[in-house]
Amino acid sequence: MHFACGPGCSQCCSVNVTATSLEVEFLLATGKNNGSHDIIRSVVVGGKVGGERYRPTCTINDAAGRYLRGRSPLEDSGNHAPGVCPLLDEDGTCAIYAGRPFACRAMSSLQRCGGRNGEAVLPPFFVSLSFVVSQIIEHLDCHGRTGNFLDLLEAAVCGRSSGRLPDNHPLVEPVFDPAFRKPVNDFLAALLPRPVGGITFGDLLPSRLQPR
């Protein structure tokens, strides 16, 4: 499988990216080591993040939990707004690439997005796998919050946020298309044994996440 994305490909780099507070903490810590922290502060403190952007009503694990209990997720009243991410430079290159949120990492395409329809083309199994990874990330930050990436940056850097930040929820059960059980299980089988500070990744996650 070959993705068409490359340097300067920024069609999906908008003001509507969502993230968790844990990912923003990681970004800021990474930025101190690679020099992007000053760029982040300049953008956020300088008021370059703008105002209108997508703001989620609920988190992925909240929505998944409601679905598993046979309830409807909260209505998503957020609207996607026009505008490119203010952390792109004039060449369309990401200034925070090493610490970018998972939503940015997962947004890939099998063809260039600048064509007639301007839309990304993702393998269906990749969508299911990305959803499960997003559930895991939220679980690891279950005492944190989810929101628009720029709102979270404002909250972390300036102590304020111009948007509501829903509370994160623990992972109850991974949700994915059963047709893609094998690639999801193969991914989990590779992820869970990985060492993390004297324990394994699987020790941080619910037992029901074990491949089956």
Indicate the domain borders of the chain. Answer: 18-123+143-169
Greatest CA separation for the chain:
50
- The average pLDDT across 52-73 equals 88
* Across 52-57, average pLDDT: 89
With 0-12 / 13-18 / 19 or more C-beta atoms within 10 angstroms meaning exposed / middle / buried, residue 100 is: buried
pLDDT digits (tens, 9 = 90+) for 97-116: 889 999 999 888 777 776 55
- Structure confidence at residue 211 (pLDDT): 66
Kindly state the percentage of the chain with pLDDT values over 90. Answer: 44
| pTM exceeds 0.85 for this model | yes
Please state, rounded to an integer, the average pLDDT across all residues of the chain.
86
What are residue 86's DSSP bridge partners? none
How would residue 132 be classed by pLDDT, with cut points 50, 70 and 90?
very high
Q: Rounded CA gap, 187 and 62, in Å?
A: 23
